[in-house]
């Protein structure tokens, strides 16, 4: 297994530039100095390299231009930061420009081959891969129940991204109890593991781990070398026990009209 520094270098050099490629229908990318802004999604997104190469008033102006661009469109925008990014003061400057922080997560990475194992599921639960629109809306309803907010937009979001996703549902008695997806937009180096939310009454039974294993099997078949997760504090310990390595922290800063 490569060490954390090697994994982080691969993440910076290969995954991050691919954030602005293979976009869903209706979205496009525009460069502004060192960053790329992605437009046409539910909310805008700023993809940045590890070192912006600007600081001080020049950095403030860069941030303000992104805020003002999306303000003119009456849209929110996310600037995704990592704790090892340069210059070190980016979060403070985003706050000063009116961006608000969302939850911090840990970026964890593993070799795909170490995760690709048959999933072990509790009795009565099955995992299946799906690309059906109806299932995407069922997933959105499950996610809304898990998080206690209206996430109905997620159904159409998943549908619009089908070309670069493999979606899996875990079901019991015909009910979606958990769901997760493999993102394979990053070329042959990285697959991203997203989702993994589980209804409260089904947690602690190994479903999350099983979905990791099943997606890793597919990633191995596709020849993807690494798997990456932006892990919550609920997921991070599970993933580290499975052999994922923490390489950095990530936090989105969001400006909303």
Structure tokens at 184: 């394979």
Residues 6+ apart with CB under 8 A from 33: 54, 62
User: What proportion of the chain, given as a percentage, has pLDDT over 90?
Assistant: 93
The span from the CA of 28 to the CA of 39, in Å, is 5
The span from the CA of 17 to the CA of 36, in Å, is 9
In three-state secondary structure terms, 194 is strand
For the stretch 48-75, pLDDT in tens is: 999 999 999 999 999 999 999 999 999 9
Name the one residue in this structure whose structure tokens are 């499975």.
242
Q: Where are the domains of the chain?
A: 4-105, 110-249
Please state the pTM of the whole predicted model. 0.93
In three-state secondary structure terms, 107 is strand
For the stretch 219-230, pLDDT in tens is: 999 999 999 999
pLDDT band at 24 (very low <50, low <70, confident <90, very high): confident
C-alpha 208: how far from its chain's center? 16
Side-chain half-sphere CA neighbours of 69 within 13 A: 20
Q: How many CB atoms lie within 10 A of CB 233?
A: 10
- CA 146 to each of CA 90, 141, 150, 179, 202: distance values in angstroms, whole numbers, following the listed order: 32, 9, 10, 11, 11
CA nearest neighbour of 185 among 30, 22, 68:
22
Looking at domain 110-249, its CATH architecture is 3-Layer(aba) Sandwich (3.40)
Per-residue model confidence (pLDDT) at position 1: 79
pLDDT band at 175 (very low <50, low <70, confident <90, very high): very high
Q: How many CB atoms lie within 10 A of CB 214?
A: 24
């Amino acid at each position: 297994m490569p060490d954390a520094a090697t994994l982080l270098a691969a993440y910076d050099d290969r995954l991050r530039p691919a954030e602005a490629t293979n976009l869903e229908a209706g979205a496009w990318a525009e460069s502004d100095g060192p960053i790329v802004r992605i437009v046409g999604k539910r909310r805008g997104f700023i993809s940045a390299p590890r070192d912006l190469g600007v600081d001080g008033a020049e950095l403030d102006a860069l941030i303000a231009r992104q805020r003002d661009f999306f303000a003119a469109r009456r849209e929110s925008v996310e600037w995704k930061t990592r704790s090892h990014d340069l210059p070190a003061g980016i979060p403070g400057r985003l706050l000063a420009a009116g961006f608000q922080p969302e939850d911090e997560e840990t970026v964890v990475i593993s070799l795909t081959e170490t995760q690709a194992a048959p999933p072990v599921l509790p009795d009565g639960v099955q995992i299946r891969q799906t690309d059906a629109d109806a299932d995407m809306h069922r997933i959105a309803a499950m996610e809304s129940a898990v998080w206690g907010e209206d996430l109905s937009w997620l159904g159409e979001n998943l549908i619009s991204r089908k070309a670069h996703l493999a979606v899996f549902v875990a079901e019991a008695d015909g009910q979606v109890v958990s769901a997760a997806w493999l993102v394979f937009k990053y070329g042959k180096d990285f697959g991203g593991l997203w989702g993994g939310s589980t209804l409260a009454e089904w947690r602690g039974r190994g479903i999350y781990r099983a979905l990791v294993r099943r997606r890793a099997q597919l990633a191995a078949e596709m020849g993807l070398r690494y798997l990456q997760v932006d892990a919550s504090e609920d997921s991070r310990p599970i993933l580290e026990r499975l052999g994922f390595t923490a390489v950095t922290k990530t936090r989105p800063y969001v400006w909303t009209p």
